[in-house]
Amino acid sequence: MAVAVQTATRLLAPVMPHLAEELHQRLAVQLRASRPESICVTPYPTLQQWQKWRNPELEGNIARVLEVVSVIRCLKKSCGIKKPNAYIVVKDNADKAKLEGLAATVQHLSWLGELHVTARSDWMGSPDIGSWSPAAVNPSIDVYVETDIAKVQEVTSERIQRLAMKLHKLESKVSTPQYLKRTTKAEKERHNKQISELKMELEKLQDQKTKTRDRCNTSHTLCSPL
């Protein structure tokens, strides 16, 4: 940790010399260095110094973890549960072992309840209790996140209602004679674009609501596509 902080301080020195000097001197005191030299005369860090610390395998594992976390977070936005449980279904045992070793990290970064890592050969489909939203991380990894279908439907319905009211007001506005006479061409184009975007979003939400309802009816039979 001390080496990392020292290196970061030296990297900071050219752009924030006074702050870097203060941190450098304080760190020297903590490390009990006798008569520490100024950071201005210390050697600047080089890439070669850090080559021996590189761990390509660990970098690959962390990249895979962040990929899984990103997908889980996306599912959580529409799952209706603050801290849901989740399953990670992995195609090969090598990936399974790696993800099991980093499961606590995935769980913490994703803010999950329980997290289970399962091999594809052992996967019997999502649990019978509750509803689950599936998503593919990559061709080898799927995730399933616990979902409150009723909450999702409620939130979606409220958003549809708000957008429908906004669309109705805008359509009423652009259909009046005063609007047609007094509004500039650029403003009309902007309003038409807004109407088009609102219609597209409403259509998307209606489709999402239908799919969620269908998923609720088949939630007990979801299977990994791997």
Rounded-to-integer distance, Cα 7 and Cα 53, Å: 13
What DSSP line would sit under 116-184, residue for residue? EEEEGGG---S-SSSEEEEEEEETTEEEEEEE-HHHHHHHHHHHHHHHHHHHHHHHHHHTSHHHHHHS-
Residues 115, 65 contacting (CB under 8 angstroms): no
Rounded-to-integer distance, Cα 109 and Cα 1, Å: 22
User: Which of 84, 80, 138, 144 lies closest to 117 in space, CA to CA?
Assistant: 144
User: Which of 81, 90, 199, 192 lies closest to 141 in space, CA to CA?
Assistant: 90
State the DSSP code for 45: P
The token duo for 57 is: 């395998």
pLDDT at 47: 85
pLDDT at 224: 38
The fold adopted by the segment(s) 56-148 is hypothetical protein PF0899 fold (3.30.2320)
Residue range 14-47, pLDDT digits in tens: 999 999 999 888 888 777 766 678 888 888 988 8
Q: Where are the domains of the chain?
A: 2-53, 56-148, 150-217
Measured in degrees and rounded to the nearest 5, phi and psi for residue 222 equal -65, 135
Segments in the chain below pLDDT 70 = 33-35, 128-130, 215-226
Rounded-to-integer distance, Cα 78 and Cα 100, Å: 26
Has this prediction a pTM greater than 0.75? no
Residues 46, 16 contacting (CB under 8 angstroms): no
Residue range 63-88, pLDDT digits in tens: 999 999 999 999 898 888 899 999 99
Neighbouring C-alpha atoms within 13 Å toward the C-beta of 131: 21
